[in-house]
């Protein structure tokens, strides 16, 4: 095979998700609001991409175009070379509010995806048991979501998304509604899942610390209309050291955090 075509093939297979000059506008005429402008971004399978930016910068809008809830006004979003055209089971989504199904037990929620696919009952219970045990929710399998704490509900939402073996996990401020202690614990758990599965993750957050601590790549967005200001490679997610307090007080960590904060600060007040 000629080298040229081989290298093209390799490049395209490396870009797992691409945003190709994506723009989103709401409304029309005088009421037209540009939420996103000229977003071009790509990442590879296995990346953990954190997106940070001031409130109203279109982070959620960006995620929604990849999830397929929102069609971009121009440009396109692709996953494995195919243009995103509506939601699908290959992209698991976790929202800030867990959006669990309150009429189903914990086990019912965890097995919802496989149930929709018509997976055999034995296979379903196996997946559910494995995932619930991993998340420490097995003892609660017959409870209902309203009987769980906020942190456990969010853990269940993640378990529910993972049961489908999605190619990518999209998370929109998943820990935003949790208390500080639970939040740190959930960060560790998410990191462990990512390390164990090698799954691709897109995390929307407004905690700069969380973005840098968990992400292999940190994308900083500007105030509306949302643009990408900077993309930074962060080394901390791949470190074996998982003492979060120690990592978060490393000089490199602090320097990166200050850099990102100053970017956001400037964009929000210019």
Partner 1 sequence: MALRIPLRAWTVVSALVLAAAWLTLTWGGFVRDLFLPPPDQLWDAFNDLATDGYKNRTLWEHLQISLWRIFAGFVTGALAGTFLGLAMGYWRGVAALASPFVEFLRPLPQLAYLMLLIIWFGIGETSKIILLFLAALPVSAVAARDGVRNVPAQRIHAARTLGATEWQVFRHVVLPSALPEIFTGARIGVGVVYGTLIAAEIIAGSSGIGWMILDAGRFLRSDYVFVGIILIGLMGVALNGALVALETRLVHWAGR
State the Cα–Cα distance between residues 266 and 41, nearest whole angstrom: 22
- Evaluate whether 94 touches 157 at the Cβ level (below 8 Å): yes
102 binds partner 1 (CB under 8 A): yes
Indicate which single residue of 17, 67, 127, 212 sits in contact with partner 1 (rule: CB under 8 A): 67
- CB under 8 A: which stretch of 124-132, 133-141, 160-168, 202-210 binds partner 1? 160-168
Cβ of residue 202: shortest distance to partner 1, in angstroms?
Answer: 13
- DSSP state, residue 84: P
Q: What share of the chain is helix, strand, coil (3-state, %, to 5)?
A: 45, 20, 35
Size of the site for partner 1 (CB under 8 A): 27
Cβ of residue 85: shortest distance to partner 1, in angstroms?
Answer: 13
The pairing of strands 91-94 and 168-172 is parallel
Under rule CB under 8 A, which residues in 135-154 are in contact with partner 1? 144-146
Indicate which single residue of 72, 113, 215, 226 sits in contact with partner 1 (rule: CB under 8 A): 113
Q: Which is nearer to partner 1, 138 or 144 (CB)?
A: 144
Count of Cβ atoms closer than 10 Å to residue 126 Cβ: 14
State the Cα–Cα distance between residues 90 and 240, nearest whole angstrom: 29
Tracing tokens 């957050």 back to the chain, one arrives at 205
Binding stretches for partner 1 (CB under 8 A): 67-69, 86-89, 91-93, 95, 97, 99, 101-103, 112-113, 116-117, 144-146, 157, 160-161, 164
């Amino acid at each position: 095979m000629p080298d040229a075509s081989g290298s093209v093939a390799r490049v395209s297979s490396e870009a797992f998700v691409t945003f190709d000059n994506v723009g989103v506008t709401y409304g029309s005429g005088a009421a037209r609001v540009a939420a996103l402008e000229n977003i071009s971004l790509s990442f590879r399978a296995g990346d953990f991409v954190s997106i940070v930016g001031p409130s109203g910068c279109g982070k959620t809008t960006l995620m929604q175009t990849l999830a397929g809830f929102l069609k971009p006004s121009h440009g396109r979003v692709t996953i494995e070379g195919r243009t995103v055209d509506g939601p699908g089971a290959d992209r698991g989504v976790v929202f800030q509010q867990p959006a669990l199904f309150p009429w189903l037990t914990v086990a019912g929620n965890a097995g919802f995806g496989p149930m929709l696919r018509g997976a055999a009952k034995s296979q379903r219970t196996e997946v559910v048991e494995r995932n619930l045990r991993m998340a420490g929710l097995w003892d609660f399998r017959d409870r209902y979501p309203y009987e769980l704490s906020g942190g456990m509900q969010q853990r269940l939402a993640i378990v529910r998304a993972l049961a489908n073996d999605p190619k990518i996990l999209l998370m929109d401020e998943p820990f935003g509604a949790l208390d500080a202690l639970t939040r740190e614990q959930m960060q560790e758990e998410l990191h462990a899942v990512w390390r164990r599965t090698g799954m691709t993750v897109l995390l929307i957050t407004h905690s700069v610390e969380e973005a840098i601590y968990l992400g292999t790549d940190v994308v900083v967005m500007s105030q509306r209309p949302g643009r990408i200001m900077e993309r930074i490679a962060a080394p901390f997610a791949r470190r074996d050291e998982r003492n979060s307090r120690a990592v978060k007080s490393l000089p490199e960590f602090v320097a990166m955090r200050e850099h990102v904060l100053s970017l956001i600060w400037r964009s929000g007040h210019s």
